Structures are given as C-alpha cells and as structure tokens.
C-alpha cells in the first residue's frame, strides 16, 4: 500500500508538471485548454468506476457474494465523485470557450442523465443496508444505469453537437507533447482511483466486521 | 487564466474533502473495532478468572 501511495503521489506531481509546464499552450483557447487534462482524467476514472459497478453488479447477482456488492457500491461512489468533477471542470471550460456554463448538447445531456442515474443507484444502495433483496434490486439498477455510458460516447460522434471530438474517427487530435501530458494524467488518476477504492472498500470491510462481532456477541 | 484557477481550486478542494472524509471514517471505524475487541477481551479474562476462582473453591 505504501508503494502504491508513493507512486500515486509522484505521478500526481508529474501530472501537474506536465499539464502546467511541459504541455504547450493551445493557440486558440490559451491557458483555459489546460483544464482539458484534468477533465479527461476525471472522465477516464468515472468510466472505469462505472464499468466496475456494471461487472460487480452482475457478479453479485450471479454469486451473491458480499465482496462484489461492496466493490460495486464503492466504485459507484467514486464514479459519482469523478463524474461530478467532470461536469464542474467541463462547465468552467465551456464558459470562456462556448460563452455558456451549460448547454443541452447530446453529450452533456447524456452525461447529466448518467450522473442522475448513479446518484439514484447510491440512494437505493445506501437505503438497502444489509437487506440482500434490496441490494439485489440496487445491483439490477446498477446494470441498467450502465447502458447510458456508451450513449455518452456515441452521442458525441453520431449526433454532432457543440462538444468537441478529440480522439477517434473524425477527431481533431492533439500535439504529441499534449498527448504525453494527457497520458501521464490518466496514469496518475488511475492510481488515485485504486488508492481511493482500496480505502472505500476497507470502510465497508470494517463495518461488516463490527456488525458481525455485535451479532455474534449480542452487543 | 481565471477559469483555469477556479477549475483547479474546485477540483482539489472537492478531492481533498472526499479523501479526508474517507481517512476520518476509516480511523473512527478502526477505533470502534478496537474498543469492541478490547471490551470483549476484558469480559473473557474476567470470565476465566471467575471460573478459576470457582474451581479452586
């Protein structure tokens, strides 16, 4: 764990250096474009988190193991945190570039729906507590909510709105130095996600241990 | 530059609050577990000593 913490710390420092010093200033947008790196980092981590909710929910329904339930719940919380940061940083980026904080563009709309869906999942799951039936219902909701995730990516490409497409077919692409800064940021955010997820699962483990001792001893 | 500053500030503040909350919850649960375990150990030790005393008598 200490090695992982050290790696995360140094990769975050490397990310800050590459974003603010190494990466060149974009010619049209200027310094505001630097928001892009952290914005992409949060999108990346939220995507990993929601994929994990999807896989863990399926596994929980199949095996009924509390381990998968804990992984799904913890991942969802981190997913909500990072998608919230995505919306906030994206909005601050949009103001000087598009002249508005928010617009109901297809990609932004599907992202907003995704955010709401996982907040509902969190409410359902936290209300379920130790009730296995309700936890299973939350797992089913977690699987259905995931269906919106591909829509976020498809909507930017199929229904061209105001959101820029940077990567993939039809994307503008970025300069090699910018790409390096982005990759360093993605690595740093992935490590940060692993550290936070480990901490979050530890909390669920501790709660389980305390409640099992109380049950056994009748405290 | 102002927008970049605010984006960074909000990002780090939210991330720090969340991380601090995770660490605080983890520490408080660990403490609670220790308290429960130590109280159980005390109870067991008292029970054993009581049993020993009864056996001697």
Distance of alpha carbon A135 from its chain centroid, rounded? 22
Cβ distance of A217 and B40 shorter than 8 Å:
yes
Percent of chain A at pLDDT above 90? 47
Contact between A138 and A56 (Cβ < 8 Å): no
Task: Please compute Rg for chain A using Cα positions.
Answer: 19
Structure token digits, residue A13 = 């420092």
Determine whether B1 is exposed, middle or buried from the number of CB atoms within 10 Å of its CB (0-12, 13-18, 19+).
Answer: exposed
Cβ distance of B3 and A95 shorter than 8 Å:
yes
Cβ distance of A38 and B7 shorter than 8 Å:
yes
Helix (H, G, I), strand (E, B) or coil at A30: strand
pLDDT over threshold 80, residue B27:
yes
**ipTM of this complex prediction, to 2 decimal places:** 0.84
* Mean pLDDT to the nearest integer, B7-35: 93
B-chain residues within 8 Å CB-CB of A219?
Answer: 36
Task: Choose the mutation target among A33, A38, A76 for the interface with B, i.e. most B CBs under 10 Å.
Answer: A38
The Cα of A179 is separated from the nearest Cα of chain B by a number of Å equal to 19
Distance of alpha carbon A166 from its chain centroid, rounded? 19
The Cα of B55 is separated from the nearest Cα of chain A by a number of Å equal to 25
By C-alpha distance, the chain B residue nearest A203 is B26
- Residue A24 is given by DSSP the state P
Closest CA to A151 of A47, A29, A1: A47
pLDDT over threshold 90, residue A88:
yes
- Tens-digit pLDDT profile for residues A158-216: 766 666 666 665 556 778 888 899 999 999 999 999 999 999 999 999 998 898 888 88
A-chain residues within 8 Å CB-CB of B29?
Answer: 203, 206-207, 210
Helix (H, G, I), strand (E, B) or coil at A101: coil
């Amino acid at each position: 764990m200490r090695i992982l913490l050290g790696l995360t710390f140094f990769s975050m420092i490397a990310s800050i250096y590459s974003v603010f010093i190494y990466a060149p200033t974009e010619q049209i947008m200027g310094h505001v474009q630097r928001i892009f790196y952290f914005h992409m980092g949060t999108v990346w981590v939220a995507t990993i988190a929601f994929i994990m909710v999807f896989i863990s929910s399926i596994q929980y329904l199949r095996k009924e193991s509390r381990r998968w339930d804990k992984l799904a719940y913890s991942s969802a919380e981190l997913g909500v945190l990072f998608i919230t940061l995505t919306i906030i940083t994206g909005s601050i980026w949009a103001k000087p570039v598009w002249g508005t904080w928010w617009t109901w563009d297809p990609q932004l709309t599907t992202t907003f729906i995704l955010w709401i869906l996982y907040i509902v999942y969190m409410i359902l799951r936290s209300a379920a507590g130790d009730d296995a039936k309700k936890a299973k219902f939350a797992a089913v909701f977690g699987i259905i909510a995931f269906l919106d995730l591909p829509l976020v990516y498809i909507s930017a490409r199929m229904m061209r709105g105001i959101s820029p497409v940077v990567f993939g077919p039809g994307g503008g692409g970025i300069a090699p130095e910018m790409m390096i800064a982005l990759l360093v940021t993605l690595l740093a955010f992935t490590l940060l996600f692993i550290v936070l997820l480990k901490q979050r699962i530890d909390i669920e483990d501790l709660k389980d241990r305390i409640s099992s001792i109380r049950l056994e001893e009748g405290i | 530059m102002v927008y970049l500053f605010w984006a960074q500030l909000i990002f780090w503040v939210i991330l720090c609050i969340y991380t601090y909350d995770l660490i605080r919850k983890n520490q408080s649960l660990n403490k609670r577990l220790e308290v429960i375990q130590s109280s159980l150990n005390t109870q067991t030790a008292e029970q054993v000593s009581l049993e020993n005393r009864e056996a001697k008598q």
